[in-house]
Structure 1
Amino acid sequence: MAAEETNELLGNVPLPYSLEAEQSVLGAVLLDPGVLTQLLDVLKASYFYLAQHRAVYTVMVRMFSASQTIDFVTLLDALKAEGVYDEAGGKAYLLSLMQMVPSAANAMAYARIVEDKYYLRSLIQVSREIIGAAVQETDDVRAVVDMAEQRIYDIRQDKQGTGLHHVKEVILETYDRLKKISGSDKKDFLGMSTGFSELDRYIGGLNPSDLILLAARPAMGKSAFALNIAQNVARAGGKVAFFSLEMSAEQNVSRMLSAQARIENTKLRTGELAADEWVRLAEGADTLSKCPLYFDDTSGITVPEIKARCRRLHELDLVVIDYLQLMSSGRRIENRVQEVSEITRSLKIMARDLDVPVLTLSQLSRGTESRTGHRPQLSDLRESGSIEQDADIVMFLYREDYYEQNEENHNQATCIVGKNRHGAVGDIPLHWDGMHTEFTAMERVHAGA
Structure 2
Amino acid sequence: MSSPVEWGYPEAEQGVLGAIMLASLEGDTGLVADIVGQMNSGDFYHDDHAALFDAIGDCLSRDMPVDPVTVGSMQRYLPSGEDTLAYGATLCRIPSVANVMTYVQQIKLWAVARQVVGIGRMLESSIAQGLPLTEAMGAAQQSMADLRDLQRGGKAGYKRMSEIVPLVLNTMDDVLNDKAPPKLSTGLADLDKLIGFLRPKSMVVIAGRPGSGKTMLGLQIVNHVAVRGRGVGLIISLEMGDEELTVRTIASLGGIDLRRMEEVKVLEREEWDRIGIAASKIKDAELYLNDTPGLTVSAIRADARKLQRECGLDILMVDYLGLVGTDGKSQNRADAVAKVSIAMKNLSKELGVPVLVLAQLNRNSTSRPGKKPQASDLRDSGQIEQDADAVILVHHDPESEAGEQGVTELILDKGRQAPTGSCLVQRQGQFARFVNFAGREPTQEEVEQSRPFAGRAKWRKDHETF
Displacement of 1:423: 1.7
Retained in 2: the 8 A contact 1:392–1:419?
Answer: yes
Q: Does 1:419 find its partner at 2:414? A: yes
**Match for 1:436 among 427, 431, 444?**
431
Instruction: Quote the residue 1:16 is aligned against.
Output: none
Counterpart residue number, 2:373: 376
Asked if the contact 2:255/2:431 (under 8 Å) is kept, the reply is yes
Structure 1 residue 404, shift from structure 2 partner:
2.2
> TM-score when scaled to structure 1?
0.65
Counterpart position of 1:68: none
Aligned residue number for residue 206 of structure 1: 198
Unaligned runs of 5+ in 1: 1-115
Find the aligned partners of 1:383 and 1:311 in 2 and give their Cα distance. 28
The answer as to whether partners of 1:190 and 1:204 remain within 8 angstroms in 2 is no
DSSP-derived class of the 1:360 partner: strand
**Which residue in the other structure is 1:241 paired with?**
234
Matched, 1:267 2:260: yes
Shift of 1:153: 9.2
Report the Cα distance in structure 2 between the residues aligned to 1:197 and 1:275, rounded to whole angstroms: 32
The one-letter amino acid paired with 1:251 is E
Distance 1:128 1:326 in 2: 34
Structure 2 counterparts to residues 116-265 of structure 1, below 5 A = 121-126=12-17, 139-140=76-77, 142=79, 145=82, 156=111, 163-186=157-180, 189-235=181-227, 236-265=229-258
Q: Deviations over 1:238-258 (max 9, x none)?
A: 100001111101000100101
Distance 1:213 1:273, change over 3 A: same
Q: Paired residue for 1:445?
A: 460
- Which residue pairs with 2:353 in the alignment? 356
Equivalent-residue separation in structure 2 for 1:346 and 1:325 (angstroms): 13
Please give the TM-score of this superposition, normalised by the length of structure 2: 0.63
Question: 1:306 & 1:117 partners in 2: Cα distance?
Answer: 20
Q: CA deviation at 1:344?
A: 0.3
Residues 134, 378 of structure 1: alpha-carbon distance in 2 compared, 3 angstrom cutoff: closer
Letter in 2 for 1:362: A
| Structure 1 moving runs of 4+ over 6 Å | 116-119, 127-136, 151-155
Task: Report Cα offsets for 1:298-328 as digits up to 9, x if no partner.
Answer: 1111111011011111220000011011111
- Cα 1:333–1:446 change in 2 (3 A) is farther
Task: Give the alignment partner of residue 308 of structure 1, picking from 302, 305, 312.
Answer: 302
What is the rounded CA distance, in whole Å, between the counterparts of 1:364 and 1:407 in structure 2?
21
Partners of 1:411 and 1:239 in 2: CA distance:
30
Counting aligned pairs with the same residue, the percent is: 28
Q: Please, what is the CA RMSD of the aligned residues?
A: 3.4
Tell me the amino acid that sits aligned with residue 163 of structure 1. G
Counterpart residue type for residue 460 of structure 2: V
Rounded to whole Å, the distance in 2 between the matches of 1:302 and 1:275 is: 44
Match of 2:318 in 1: 321
User: Would the aligned equivalents of 1:233 and 1:240 in 2 still touch at CA under 8 Å?
Assistant: yes
Q: Is the 8 A contact 2:436 2:463 kept in 1?
A: no
Distance in 1 separating the partners of 2:325 and 2:352: 22
2 CA distance for matches of 1:384 and 1:367?
A: 14
**Which residue pairs with 1:336 in the alignment?**
333
Deviation string for 1:5-53 (max 9, x for gaps)?
xxxxxxxxxxxxxxxxxxxxxxxxxxxxxxxxxxxxxxxxxxxxxxxxx
Residue 274 (structure 1) shift? 1.8
Contact 1:214 1:359 in 2 (8 A): yes
| Secondary structure at the counterpart of residue 401 of structure 2 | coil
- Alpha-carbon distance between aligned partners in 1 of 2:462 and 2:110, rounded to the nearest angstrom: 53
Q: C-alpha deviations, 1:216-247, integer Å up to 9, x for none?
A: 00001111111110111011111000011111
Larger radius of gyration: 1
Change in 2 beyond 3 A, CA 1:447/1:232: closer
Per-residue deviation, residues 140-169 of structure 1 (Å, max 9, x unmatched): 455975979xx98997369xxx62222222
C-alpha spacing 1:325/1:180, structure 2 compared with 1 (3 Å): same
Give yes or no for contact 1:239–1:318 (8 Å, CA) kept in 2: yes
Between the aligned partners of 1:127 and 1:202, the Cα distance in structure 2 is 48
Aligned residue pairs, count: 324
TM superposition shift of 1:134: 11
The answer (yes or no) to whether the contact 2:238–2:319 under 8 Å persists in 1 is yes
For residues 335 and 415 of structure 1, do their structure 2 counterparts lie closer, same or farther at Cα, with a shift above 3 Å needed?
same
Contact 2:376 2:382 in 1 (8 A): no
Counting only pairs closer than 5 Å after superposition, residues 67-106 of structure 1 correspond to structure 2 as none
> Is 1:333–1:339's contact at 8 Å kept on the other side of the alignment?
no
Q: Report the Cα distance in structure 1 between the residues aligned to 2:303 and 2:365, rounded to whole angstroms.
A: 36
Q: Structure 1 pair 232/169, CA: closer, same or farther in 2 (3 Å)?
A: same
Distance 1:447 1:366 in 2: 35
* Aligned mates of 2:234, 2:340 — CA distance in 1: 18
Q: 1:117/1:382 Cα in 2 relative to 1: closer, same or farther (>3 Å)?
A: closer
Q: Are the aligned partners of 2:9 and 2:110 in contact in 1 as well (CA < 8 Å)?
A: no
SS at 2:409 equivalent: strand
Which piece of structure 1 moves more, 193-202 or 323-332? 193-202
Q: What secondary structure, in the 3-state scheme, does the structure 2 residue paired with 1:373 have?
A: helix
Which residue in the other structure is 2:131 paired with?
none
Equivalent residues of 2:321, 2:359 under 8 A apart: yes
Aligned AA (1:287): K
In the TM superposition, residue 330 of structure 1 has moved relative to its aligned partner by: 2.1
